[in-house]
Structure 1
């Protein structure tokens, strides 16, 4: 625990002439072996390089780029990384037939996680990462025999290992997270999460770790009075790290919670997963937030509207989340969401624009329905999920042979490109460009 959390920072030459300290106390939780601190740096020039150092005995200097202002039309790329777990003896490097799902061939524990390594090798090619759910897979500690005698510490150790492994990326790039089912409790076993010790249930680590770093909804930069009203309403209803939004250059990005806080949410006590979690807001708070936030988006400033969550309702493998579809899909269509990003299914899929189970006849040429992608193949202890049988007509690309992830490039106000990348080689497996005219300031569809 630091007595005071401070950061020194300065220009790229690392002349660290400024210092800022945290205005809040360090946080922890029962069963945690670490403390969490957050420091906010203000007054940075937009889209500029900075060097920084955490003021402690063992930190090193690192660099980052400050965010782009909303409305900046410079092209940029982000990565969608979902269902990413720890590697090594407690992680994805497992022997065949020891996981809950199909696996890729055995990889010696001495080798690096191919997705994390690829993210590190390409660190200058993207500006931030979105990770809507399933980080570390600490709730799978029991899949290792050597963990069975010390389950409480095994759970914490896996979390510590994972975030250490991720630090070459997260120390340099914003890492934007929202919840998935594997953050809920110490065991993903229906109805018995009550045996989990204090601190290892009800998303406690996720809340503590990300609660101080995910943003509240930003004030609207629109000149439209109603947009400002809607944005302020969304800010009041936001509940980071579960549901929130942010603007960056040409994009308005909304992170949602597909686990709790809507009718028949799967992780709530009466939900299909029976993980006994939530709710985390007032009744209908998340959906009221989402509607206010989507209604506030001024397409003359941020033409691209992206929504990211964990469980998909369109997929060629696994069971679609029908309660998620009932809760969220009407709002995504009504306010003209361009791209919806999901995971949960451990493979990669690109889906054609679709609404209410019907393909949009426009395809990728100015559709009114969202384009969907599933980027759940980043790699974890449960392995990859194989496709079985015929795929639905809306599936344009499907890949389950190796770990992979998605890159999203905002080329200009009318063109957005999605690439799926094979983690081990960097090969581009699939590419598609979504064309949208974005000729209206606000979108409301019926």
Structure 2
């Protein structure tokens, strides 16, 4: 029988203490006025306050730079129609994932109070629901759903458009990511990868004008400059960016990514300031992960609508630009996305199946990626490997 030691929640635990109820949960915050207490015994822990404690969980601690982590990657998973959830829970329980990247749109929606069942006649789905009112019950349900995952491995999130209400209040208070940006943007290390999460929503919800855009852009610029230094990138060579709304997509729903001058890609209209594509290219970002579109889509290495494959035979070996992946098909109350009939030349593979992605950072040179179809019983419907002998800025162009 172990004897608990009580400590304030620190960065060690910020990633995994996601408890189910807004009114009853204890947030893992190192800056809050009422810090949570956590009982630690090696990798076993419980979470709570006063006389209310959770069951005992086991935390999988992360190693240093010299190991090969495998991460689940997906966006747009709700409480209703969360088709991928059983597969994710099973894979985490069996040790298949070391962390999760949820690239926006959580719960559908965190702030909602309840769902009213609409019956199987609505688009043929028995679990189709209509959201009503505020109150956070849907968010509570989502936290309960991901608890078997988030209590075992880091559950890292980025804000999506469905988190917007009341200035992203539920998103900012239910999760505690590294740093002090209220979860808008942050970075962290896992194995040989440095992962940068940021908000695409600052470009679309402009109640505060340009302040958040400028703040985040300058942070990204400074962060990329820091981690691109030779002494840092020698240890963590892979730079992976994750945000919700993609720069590129081949869907036909008139979203930002369907337009040539995507705001996320080139910046705000007229002045075209604070666009992210040139910034990520300049600092040699290797992989960009997106959600929002309820599909899976893999692009060829791409910059400014120009395919920059490593070679014809091996397009992902020493590519000349970042690789973009859209993986927003985990399952939610909204339907599948649809693709344009005529696919652009920069699209390598597409799938409408519900599912999730599996990414393994093997070492300094190899990163592999798979798309798992929940609709097809866990079948791997796409896979590829990025091989890089060099990580750093891409070929100088007229930026």
- What TM bracket, shorter-length normalisation? 0.7 to 0.9
1:268 is displaced (CA, Å) by 2.1
Residue 258, structure 1, aligned to residue 200, structure 2: yes
Residue 63, structure 1, aligned to residue 58, structure 2: yes
**In the alignment, what sits opposite 2:158?**
178
Within the candidate set 361, 364, 381, 2:333 is matched to 381
Superposed CA deviations along residues 39-79 of structure 1, whole A, max 9, x for unmatched, are: 669xxxxxx9711112453511111112222xx22112111
Aligned-pair Cα RMSD in Å: 2.9
1:281 is displaced (CA, Å) by 4.9
1:252 is displaced (CA, Å) by 0.5
Matched position secondary structure for 1:324: helix
Residue 215, structure 1, aligned to residue 178, structure 2: yes
In 1: Cα distance, 2:196 partner to 2:386 partner: 19
Q: Which runs of 5+ in 1 are unaligned?
A: 1-13, 24-30, 42-47, 93-112, 186-200, 217-237, 270-277
**In the alignment, what sits opposite 2:299?**
351
Which structure has the highest strand share of the two? Answer: 2
Q: What is the count of residue pairs matched by the alignment?
A: 341
Within the candidate set 173, 186, 190, 1:244 is matched to 186
CA contact (8 A) 2:116 2:132 kept: no
In 1: Cα distance, 2:112 partner to 2:212 partner: 31
Q: 1:386 to 1:18 in 2, by over 3 A?
A: same
1:417 is displaced (CA, Å) by 0.5
Residue 398, structure 1, aligned to residue 350, structure 2: yes
1:22-421 superposed matches below 5 A: 22=9, 33-38=23-28, 50-55=43-48, 56-69=51-64, 72-86=65-79, 91-92=80-81, 113-123=82-92, 124-138=95-109, 144=116, 151-153=133-135, 156-185=136-165, 201-210=166-175, 213-216=176-179, 239-260=181-202, 265-269=203-207, 278=208, 281=211, 284-297=214-227, 298-317=232-251, 318=253, 319-321=255-257, 322-326=262-266, 327-362=275-310, 363-400=315-352, 402-421=353-372
CA contact (8 A) 1:345 1:385 kept: yes
Superposed CA deviations along residues 284-316 of structure 1, whole A, max 9, x for unmatched, are: 111111111111112211010000000011111
Matched position secondary structure for 1:420: strand
Give the 4+ runs in structure 1 shifted more than 4 A. 139-143, 145-150, 278-283, 442-446
Superposed CA deviations along residues 264-284 of structure 1, whole A, max 9, x for unmatched, are: x12224xxxxxxxx5695561
In 2: Cα distance, 1:49 partner to 1:383 partner: 44
More moved, 165-174 vs 31-40: 31-40
1:178 is displaced (CA, Å) by 1.4
CA contact (8 A) 2:115 2:132 kept: no
**In the alignment, what sits opposite 1:44?**
none
CA contact (8 A) 1:405 1:422 kept: yes
Q: 1:122 to 1:300 in 2, by over 3 A?
A: same
Q: Which runs of 5+ in 2 are unaligned?
A: 11-20, 31-35, 119-128, 267-274
CA contact (8 A) 1:79 1:126 kept: yes
